[in-house]
Chain A
């Protein structure tokens, strides 16, 4: 699976990348396809299409020593413009 990192950025607005995955590394579980970017759609703006991915994170990556079971995982839907190479 392709490794990616979620960008560490904090723009205001209707953002669908939750805080707890920002700066974290995960693997692309699957590509879902193009969707209108909700960061624009939410304000009635013309929205560019963004590819939506499901990114899988290990609990160890998300929560470090506080992880309940390091090998458990969280899959999160993330748009392409939030991903960078890892």
Chain B
């Protein structure tokens, strides 16, 4: 009988429950967004095509852009100096369209490990790295990163010696941050593209380290 396996009734063939349809009403802010967007189009300030183009441009941004910047900093000391002095200018000069982003780059060394958080909301260098991971916006990450960063890092699998000083950066206002992770050992022979492949999103937030190449 089809109903014999009652417990399995709501499971997909993969064995997981079907996701509920989102048939709930729009929230206040969703209605606000639609109203403002439609007004902007109706009054001729923007076209739907321009809005879609901006969404596409944002979706096209990814941690690979930041990884290219980090790899350049690893191989070119003069570029790294410029990046640390003014990260917005240095990334624009590399050819990235970061819009009005005010960027600060901070460097991990043997003595210092940097980690980025926005305790007030979810400020993130989206114009360079794309959209932030979901955990970055959670209350748990936002409240714990400034109070117990070592525990948080351990949960990300990053165990740092006590002698390493941790510098948390709370992105509260107009600046956004990118971490230049330390260059892994055994990467002397690698070119810029191969180095960029070692730079993860989390390593640029400070919750991870750059990958060590296979065989190093």
Residue among B102, B119, B165 making CB contact with A18, cutoff 8 Å: B119
Per the bound structure, the CA–CA distance linking A73 and B167 in Å amounts to 5
In the complex, how many angstroms separate the beta carbon of B140 from the nearest chain A beta carbon?
A: 15
Residue among A17, A66, A71, A74 making CB contact with B168, cutoff 8 Å: A74
User: Is B120 at the interface (CB under 8 A from chain A)?
Assistant: yes
Stretch at the interface among B69-77, B126-134, B144-152: B144-152
Residue among B147, B151, B167 making CB contact with A75, cutoff 8 Å: B167
Q: Which residues in B have their C-beta under 8 angstroms from that of A73?
A: 165-168
B145 to A, closest residue via Cβ? A74
Contact B119 A20 (CB under 8 A): yes
User: Is A77 at the interface (CB under 8 A from chain B)?
Assistant: yes
Q: How large is the interface on B (under 10, 10 to 19, 20 to 34, 35 or more residues)?
A: 20 to 34
Per the bound structure, the CA–CA distance linking A30 and B16 in Å amounts to 52
Q: Which of chain A's residues 69-86 have a Cβ closer than 8 Å to chain B? A: 69, 71-79
Q: How large is the interface on A (under 10, 10 to 19, 20 to 34, 35 or more residues)?
A: 20 to 34
Contact A69 B166 (CB under 8 A): yes
Contact B174 A68 (CB under 8 A): no
Contact B171 A74 (CB under 8 A): no
Contact A77 B172 (CB under 8 A): yes
Per the bound structure, the CA–CA distance linking A38 and B175 in Å amounts to 13
Q: Which of chain A's residues 44-86 have a Cβ closer than 8 Å to chain B? A: 52, 54, 62-63, 66, 68-69, 71-79
Q: Mark B160-172, 1 if CB is under 8 A from A, else 0.
A: 0010011111111
Contact B175 A32 (CB under 8 A): yes
Contact A75 B150 (CB under 8 A): no
Residue among B146, B150, B172, B175 making CB contact with A69, cutoff 8 Å: B150
Contact B173 A74 (CB under 8 A): no
Q: Which of chain A's residues 1-20 have a Cβ closer than 8 Å to chain B? A: 16-18, 20
Q: Mark B83-107, 1 if CB is under 8 A from A, else 0.
A: 0000000000000000000100000
Q: Which residues in B have their C-beta under 8 angstroms from that of A77?
A: 170-175
Per the bound structure, the CA–CA distance linking A77 and B116 in Å amounts to 12
Contact B173 A16 (CB under 8 A): yes
Per the bound structure, the CA–CA distance linking A32 and B102 in Å amounts to 10
Q: List 8 A-B contacts (CB under 8 A).
A: A20-B119, A52-B175, A68-B148, A68-B149, A74-B146, A74-B167, A76-B172, A77-B171
Q: Give me 13 other A-B pairs in contact (C-beta within 8 A), A18-B119, A77-B171 excluded.
A: A17-B172, A32-B174, A32-B175, A38-B173, A52-B174, A66-B147, A68-B151, A69-B162, A69-B166, A72-B150, A73-B167, A77-B175, A78-B172
